[in-house]
Amino acid sequence: MIKTALVTGANKGIGLETARQLGSAGWKVVLGSRSTERGEAAVAELTGQGLDVELLQLDMTNPHSIAQAAATIQSRYADLTLLINNAGMPGAFSSSFSTTREEDLRQAFEVNFFGTFRLNQLLLPLIKQNEGSIINVSTDMASLQFMQHTEYPLNCFDYNASKTASNAMTTAMAIELRDTSAQVFAVTPGFTKTDLNHNAEGGKSKEAGAAIIVGYATDGKRHNGEFLDVNGIYAW
């Protein structure tokens, strides 16, 4: 039986590589992309590799686009059992609280929290019905404990705060799913070289980062309410 997954922000970076790895494992992948042009190029690349991938135009900053995408999923991909919320926005990736601008904070929250909230709320009934999984892709820097106990934390308040809020959403959803066969959890791929951080030196490859997400998505274990990194349970 073919399994169907939706990966948001999947036209490049970790999202594209996550779609590739899921497709290679036999999944049908619905590739969410804000840009139709870039999404079509990504789909062409993956289908050219023999993978079962289809495009879904999805702008995580636009409530109408999210609602339309959710309606398409419910009508065309009603067998969806995996939603990976990978789409992310860094804001300005500010260097401190004092230098954070409200407009950048709002930009980060619009995608990383509000857009993800809208999509999760619309697709949760389907995932619950199909006994599936939702993964909210997070970051080490969303962990309050990590930020408190790291000697030189990357104090990007706009980005970090939006992802911490997303972690709170994960726990709230997990409580709701506690007595069901569906699940929701958060995964941090760790420091990975992507466009979001301008492909910063020292980060792992996109392939390695995506493998962490795909590994937890497909291991068949119950992770409801957990925050996971490559080594297992990660501190909130």
pLDDT in tens, 64-112: 999 999 999 999 999 999 999 999 999 898 889 999 999 999 999 999 9
* Residues 6 or more apart whose Cβ sits within 8 Å of residue 70: 119, 122, 123
Helix (H) or strand (E) run with residue 119 in it:
helix 116-129
Residue 25, classified by CB atoms within 10 Å of its CB into exposed (0-12), middle (13-18) or buried (19+), is middle
pLDDT of residue 150: 84
Lookup: tokens for 224: 């409801």
Reported as a pLDDT band with limits 50, 70 and 90, residue 152 is confident
> What DSSP state is assigned to residue 53?
E
193-196 contacts at long range (C-beta below 8 A, 24 or more positions apart): 194/13, 194/14, 195/12, 195/13, 196/13, 196/88, 196/90, 196/93
Least reliable range by pLDDT among 36-50, 52-66, 195-209: 195-209
CA distances (Å), origin 97, targets 103, 127, 156: 13, 37, 7
How do residues 165-179 score in pLDDT, each as one tens digit? 999 999 999 999 999
pLDDT of residue 51: 98
How do residues 17-42 score in pLDDT, each as one tens digit? 999 999 999 999 999 999 999 999 99
Reported as a pLDDT band with limits 50, 70 and 90, residue 135 is very high
Residue 2, classified by CB atoms within 10 Å of its CB into exposed (0-12), middle (13-18) or buried (19+), is exposed
Decide: 141 and 163 in contact? Cβ < 8 Å: yes
Residue 62 has pLDDT above 90, yes or no: yes
β-pairing, 183-187 vs 80-85, is unpaired
* Mean pLDDT score of the chain: 94
**CATH topology for the 4-233 domain:** Rossmann fold (3.40.50)
pTM of the complete model: 0.95
> What DSSP state is assigned to residue 115?
I
